[in-house]
């Protein structure tokens, strides 16, 4: 062990009188050890997430032979790079659509009376309880060329619109499936905003738009960010909705992983795809984090 290291293991020269400190302080209360309280969740995460993830990562380096060949393959195959880029772009579009659709809705939930609020919450939750596959199939019926939306458009004398098997169709379907994940965090943040602050701004002469932009919007941003991150990350892994509503040009990475693993048995390549997606997500979040923190600080200051 080097002397310059700051790891606890290097502190061997100065043994901590651990027993002496711990002995008299021992308290039987569970609450004293927050880490203990997290144990069940941690154990579940390690067993159900950590271990499989580790296996997948290992296989991406070791299957069929040790090395980086799966990663070379990933980046040297044009279709993978195109689809990776497309996956992020679809996820971004879904996030934007969700923010735009959820923001006014969540605001309305804070503004109405308790009975109306219950109705609004149910409107969010009831579709949430229906399986994603069923909802996606409902979208097929709505969006297809001979579907309800196109029939109505044609009835009105316009040309039909191509919705199904396009990226637009995929974004519409995914946004609907993911909307609750945006509305609920937004609502929980908006509920805590003191509306008198807006009234104060108005009484000090701010126009409604300005009062909203300078007071309400910054205060609600933590909810926007929380919802956006959840929606964005969930979008990246979507499989069923793009498979049913999309065409070849809206295939997402999960579909490619599926075909590598399930039909070609290339666990290594499938694993490499998963790892690339995971790392790319982490990088993106790391880039976005300082931005969000700053905004958050600003929001709490105002």
Task: Using the minimum distance from each CB to another protein, give the nearer residue, 77 or 89.
Answer: 77
35 binds another protein (CB under 8 A): no
Q: Which of residues 186-245 bind another protein (CB under 8 A)?
A: 243-244
Of the pair 142, 221, the CB lying nearest another protein is at 142
Complex with another protein: residue 163 or 186, whichever CB lies closer: 163
Q: Rank residues 127 and 147 by Cβ distance to another protein and give the closer one.
A: 147
CB of 146 to another protein, least distance (A): 5
Q: Which positions ≥6 away from 171 have C-beta within 8 Å?
A: 90, 93, 94, 97
166: which DSSP letter? S
- Residue 102 near residue 227, CB atoms below 8 Å: yes
Q: What does the alpha-carbon distance between residue 168 and residue 185 come to, in Å, rounded to a whole number?
A: 25
* Choice from 69, 144, 188, 214 touching another protein (CB under 8 A): 144
* CB 81 to another protein: min, Å: 10
253 touches 273 (CB < 8 A): yes
Site mask for another protein (CB under 8 A), range 239-278, x = bound? ----xx--xxxxx---xx--xxxxxxx-x-----------
Cis peptide before 201 (omega within 30 of 0): no
**For another protein, which is the closer residue by CB, 25 or 263?**
263
Contacting another protein within 148-187 (CB under 8 A): 165
Range 54-83, binding another protein (CB under 8 A): 77-79, 82-83
Q: Is 98 left (phi over 0), alpha (psi -120 to 50) or beta?
A: alpha
Residue closer to another protein by CB (options 146, 302) is: 146
Q: What are phi and psi of 194, to 5 degrees?
A: -80, 110
CA-based nearest residue to 118, from 181, 193, 187, 176: 187
Q: Which of these segments, 63-71, 137-145, 153-161, 193-201, binds another protein (CB under 8 A)? A: 137-145
33: alpha, beta or left, given left = phi > 0 and alpha = psi -120 to 50?
A: beta
Other Cβ atoms within 10 Å of 288 Cβ, number = 14
Chain residues binding another protein by CB under 8 A are: 77-79, 82-83, 140, 144-147, 165, 243-244, 247-251, 255-256, 259-265, 267
């Amino acid at each position: 062990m080097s002397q310059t290291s700051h790891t606890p293991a290097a502190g061997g020269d100065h043994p901590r009188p651990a027993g002496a400190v711990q002995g008299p302080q021992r308290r039987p209360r569970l609450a004293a050890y927050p880490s203990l309280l997290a144990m069940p969740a941690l154990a579940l995460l390690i067993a159900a997430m950590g271990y499989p993830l580790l296996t997948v990562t290992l296989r991406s380096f070791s299957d069929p032979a040790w090395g980086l060949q799966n990663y070379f393959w990933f980046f040297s195959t044009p279709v993978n790079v195109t689809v990776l880029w497309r996956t992020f772009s679809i996820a971004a579009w879904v996030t934007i659509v969700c923010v735009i659709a959820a923001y006014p809705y969540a605001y309305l939930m804070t503004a109405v009376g308790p009975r109306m609020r219950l109705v609004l919450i149910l409107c969010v939750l009831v579709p949430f309880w229906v399986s994603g596959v069923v909802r996606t199939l409902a979208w097929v019926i709505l969006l297809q060329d001979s579907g309800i939306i196109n029939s109505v458009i044609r009835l009105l004398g316009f040309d039909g619109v191509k919705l199904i098997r396009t990226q637009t169709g995929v974004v519409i379907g995914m946004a609907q499936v993911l909307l609750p994940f945006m509305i609920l965090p937004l609502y929980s943040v908006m509920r805590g905003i003191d509306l008198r602050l807006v009234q104060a701004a108005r009484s000090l002469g701010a126009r409604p738009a300005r009062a909203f932009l300078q007071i309400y919007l910054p205060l609600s941003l933590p909810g926007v960010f929380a919802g956006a991150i959840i929606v964005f990350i969930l979008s990246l892994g979507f499989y069923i909705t793009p498979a049913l509503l999309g065409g070849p040009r809206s295939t997402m990475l999960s579909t490619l992983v599926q075909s590598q693993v399930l039909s070609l048995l290339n666990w290594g390549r499938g694993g490499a795809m998963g790892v690339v997606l995971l790392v790319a997500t982490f990088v993106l979040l790391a880039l976005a984090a300082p931005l969000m923190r700053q905004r958050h600080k600003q929001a709490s200051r105002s």
